A and B are shown apart, each in its own frame.
Chain A
Amino acid sequence: MLDLILIYTALAFFAAGMIYKASAWFRFSPSVDAAEYPPRKRVVSALRGIILTVLSPKVFTLLKVFLLDVVLQRRIFVRSPLGWFVHMSIFLGFMVLLFMHALSKYVASAFVSEYYSTINPFFFLRDLFGVLVLVGVVAALVRRFTRKGLVPGANVMDVYALVILAVIMLSGVILEGAKMTSHSVFSDMVDEYMVGGDDEEMQALESYWVAEFGLVSPDIKAPAGKEVLARGREAHEMSCAQCHASNRSAFAGYAFAKTAGPVAAPALDAAATRAALYYVHLLACLIGLAYLPFSKMFHVFSVPICLMANAVMKKGKSDPANMATRLMVELDACTHCGSCTRACSVATVFLEFENDNILPSERMAVIRDFATGKALDAESMLILQQGIHVCTDCGKCAEACTSGIDLTNLWSEVRETLLQRAVPEYALLTPLSLQRALARQSMDEERYAKPIEIAEAAVLAGWDRESLENKARVIVLGNGGMSDSMRQKLKHISSAGCYRCKTCSNSCPVVRNYPDAGAMLGLLPHQMMHAIGLGLWDMVFSSKMLWNCLGCSQCQECCPQCIRIADVFCELRNEAIALAGVSHAGDGGHSPGKDVES
């Protein structure tokens, strides 16, 4: 009765959790167009999409992906055969135990007319798969905690998932072993199943179980003689063998019985102990079930859906409402396995920015919080915005993703959504914005241009004399990280002998592009050099020239005095971005993880 109440409570929690989680797929989306697709429309689109796909030849693609990627987990194998072995151990072991053991009443019994957990192969298989899961769990923990390089180790959710599995398996094995040693269980069984038999025969049976089945008997201390055992065996075959394969088949439980039995038999024999063990086992399973939708284990549902959806969906072709929904499924399908970060082309610079949102595996959870409307503080939002923009869109993360998430698409969607907040993003002033530009046809013109204007305005702002004095800003050249010698060169530009021959400006393809270059660009390169020499930083940093420099080094190559003009410009841009970060700190626009004296 109590068990039933517990089971139904857990099921109710599980069902409610599942509905809640799945509803989030339709209620939220990190897509910049999410507002255009209200939940009702998205549910209808999803149903329509599913029905149309299932009725089309694409159903074969779905089947193939289900078999190869969901069941056989090809994507994990390709990344790491060892990782595949570990995951397969857990996956396969758990699935078999679920159907053969936990749901035996409904599943195993349906296939086997007289199903008893204590006959082979079930008796053996239960332990085999339990041990397999345990081996997998331990290996997974070891792998997570011994990772080299930049890939972060396990987070709380990863550990929870592994620990709950370990508790389920260990409590099961221990309970099984405890029952094997238990004299009261034995006596109950004898009372129930012993066919005929006198005291002597019973004694023999007990001796036989002590010798062969790990039973610990308070009465039998010395090993029995051959003859007694032979009689015990006969009795066993008469009354018990039809339901009992050798306890040795259940090798894990048997091993426990043989080790713990001699020392702990009385305690294990206490009904309370076995009840406690039983409830630890049952509750671990039920907690795992009830909490599943909110734990990482939810991936057992989200990953297959993600893999199959992504196999048949394509941006630009599929219903955009479904694309918005898919992003949510994808966020739930992340297992924090770290493959993306291992493959990431720019992960290295995490060491310089110290922003863990640069690592793709670490920003997934933050994006999920952002997408589902959790209130993130300004700092977290900035860290996310900066992290997600430090990305070359190389696509290696998406290729590596074992859940088949289209990460490249996810990043670009989230970036556009974040940019709508109008907090300046300085990465837009670097070649990191190239892919965005190449995709601009698919974007609203205004939406495309605005964030660039905001970023440019932010680096150019605040350089008039008045606000300079008000803010009492001190120029701290060199914070962009350029070399000491470079810093020296900057300071000595005038003494380096720039005689303003204008060769730099004349050779500049940008200057040449405008009939009225001064009006378009502010200071031209030679004027920049002059202003730097005079320390007129307000003029230098408020010049658009700085942000329209290609870095092509024509000026530098042509300079008769060998001044490294292009390098100077590069330094100045670094500086301007660092300084803009500081001045925007108040309105939440600074670049995190960077100290600049001001």
Chain B
Amino acid sequence: MKLAAFPCCFTFKGLASYEAASREVLKALGVDLVEEPDFKCCGYPLKNYRFKAFVLSSARNLALAHSKSMDMVTMCSCCYGNLKHAEHALAEDPAMKEEINAALGREGLHYRDGVRVSHFLDVLYESMGVDGIAGRIVRPLKGLRVAVHYGCHLLRPKDVVQFDNPFAPTKLDRLVEATGAESVSWSAKLDCCGSPMMGINDELSMDLTGKKLASARRAGADCICVVCPYCYQQFTRVQDMIVARRNPGFELPTILFQQLLGLALGIDESALCIEPNLLPAVIPSAA
């Protein structure tokens, strides 16, 4: 079965570093993903607006993957959670499934279940295992204290996404620890990053992000490590906004898990699009 990389709209132009870092790490680990240029948005942003349009968007991608006998791997946690959610909704509501298939028919597609959607963390976790990854580390990130952030759509609702224990997840922590870094325990770890409110209630969004940053800092973290592009944007660009508007008195570096792992695998930091001022925070010896 071919594994197709499912691209996130958000990263295509807005976060090219995300795509580059993901690609580098997968290449280094020998994970072979095919590109499918006709994948489109998972529909996440439309969920609260026109639910059926959201399900239709996901269903189209799933149908396309099915027609090409591909399984899907997402990097983005939102894409992951929402593809799963759509699958769930389609299974639950045969009437809607029929309507959606009627619409998809106009593009010559038909939704059937059976396409496996996985998050790339799962691909690493299952195909290589934590030990397998640990065995490939050439630049252990010893002494680095990381606040691991999963992102809501990777964890909840558990019966839909089925990734990890939603109250005490360990997968990402173990992968981070495989790089030699330490995963600190922090109280706001499982809370939302605040991204869904950005653009609707920015003050609330910044409150939530600020709280998470403060919690991570209190726990003594050197950086926050995220996998989802929305969360990443929140902890970088929105953190900049918080710094500019609210003067919290500190800044916490944010690193993508892909970048963190890439560094530990010995990949060049410029290939991982790690900004020069971030590096000393992650690799103390590079200071």
Contacts and interface: CB of A to CB of B under 8 A. Distances in A.
Interface in B102-129: 103-104, 106-108
- Across the A-B interface, give the 3 residue pairs with the lowest CB-CB distance, nearest first: A481-B52, A395-B13, A433-B199
Nearest to A571: B51
Contacts of A390: 46
Nearest to B39: A345
Contacts of B10: 392, 394
Interface stretch (B26-34, B130-138, B170-178, B189-197): B189-197
Contacts of A426: 49
Interface in A372-400: 390, 392-396, 398-399
B273 interface: no
B13 A408 contact: yes
B62 to A, nearest CB: 12
Contact of B211 (A150, A513, A577): A513
B93 A484 contact: yes
Contacts of A573: 48-49
In this complex, which of A344, A394, A570 has the most chain B Cβ atoms within 10 angstroms of its Cβ? Answer: A394
Contacts of A408: 13
A429 B200 CA distance: 5
Interface of B: 9-10, 12-14, 40-41, 43-53, 55-57, 60, 89, 92-93, 95-96, 103-104, 106-108, 152, 155-158, 166-167, 190-192, 194-202, 204-205, 207-208, 211, 230, 233, 237-238, 241
Given A513-B207, A513-B208, A557-B166, A437 B40 contact: no
Nearest to B40: A345
Contact of A392 (B41, B167, B194): B41
Contacts of A556: 156-157
Interface in A474-495: 480-486
Contacts of A564: 157
Contacts of A150: 106-107
Given A438-B237, A574-B48, A352 B157 contact: no
A40 interface: no
A202 interface: no
Nearest to A358: B53
Interface in A534-592: 547-548, 550-554, 556-557, 564, 566, 570-571, 573-574, 577
A393 B12 CA distance: 9
Given A346-B57, A348-B57, A428-B200, A483 B156 contact: no
Contact of B157 (A344, A396, A434, A557): A557
Contacts of A440: 202
A348 B56 contact: yes
Nearest to B107: A149
B40 A552 contact: no
B52 A438 contact: no
Contact of A394 (B13, B167, B194): B13
A152 B152 CA distance: 38
Nearest to B237: A438
Contacts of B157: 553, 556-557, 564, 566
A263 B56 CA distance: 60
Contacts of B192: 509, 550, 552, 554
B65 to A, nearest CB: 14
B92 A483 contact: yes
A168 interface: no
29 contacts: A348-B60, A349-B46, A349-B57, A351-B106, A353-B53, A394-B14, A395-B12, A408-B13, A426-B49, A427-B49, A430-B48, A434-B199, A438-B237, A440-B202, A452-B200, A481-B50, A481-B53, A482-B89, A484-B93, A547-B200, A548-B204, A550-B196, A551-B48, A551-B152, A554-B192, A556-B156, A566-B156, A570-B51, A571-B51
Contacts of A497: none
A351 B92 CA distance: 21
A570 B81 CA distance: 15
B281 to A, nearest CB: 23
Given A149-B107, A513-B204, A428 B199 contact: yes
A529 interface: no
Contacts of A399: 13
A480 B202 contact: no
A433 B200 contact: yes
B243 to A, nearest CB: 12
A510 interface: yes
B156 A434 contact: no
A345 B9 contact: yes
B128 to A, nearest CB: 29
A225 B17 CA distance: 81
Contact of B195 (A344, A349, A434): A434
A481 B43 CA distance: 14
Nearest to A521: B204
Given A349-B56, A353-B53, A429 B48 contact: yes
B201 to A, nearest CB: 6
Contacts of B196: 431, 550-552
Contacts of B107: 148-150, 348, 351
Contacts of A430: 45-49, 200
A435 interface: yes
B248 to A, nearest CB: 15
A432 B93 contact: no
A348 B40 contact: yes
Nearest to B106: A351
A12 to B, nearest CB: 45
Nearest to A436: B199
B92 A485 contact: yes
A571 B158 CA distance: 19
Interface string A455-467: 0100000000000
A570 B51 CA distance: 8
A437 B51 contact: no
A392 B106 contact: no
A509 B55 CA distance: 27
B56 A550 contact: no
Contacts of A394: 9-10, 12-14, 41
Nearest to B152: A552
A347 interface: yes
B51 A551 contact: no
Nearest to A594: B50
B56 A351 contact: yes
Given A148-B108, A352-B56, A574 B50 contact: yes
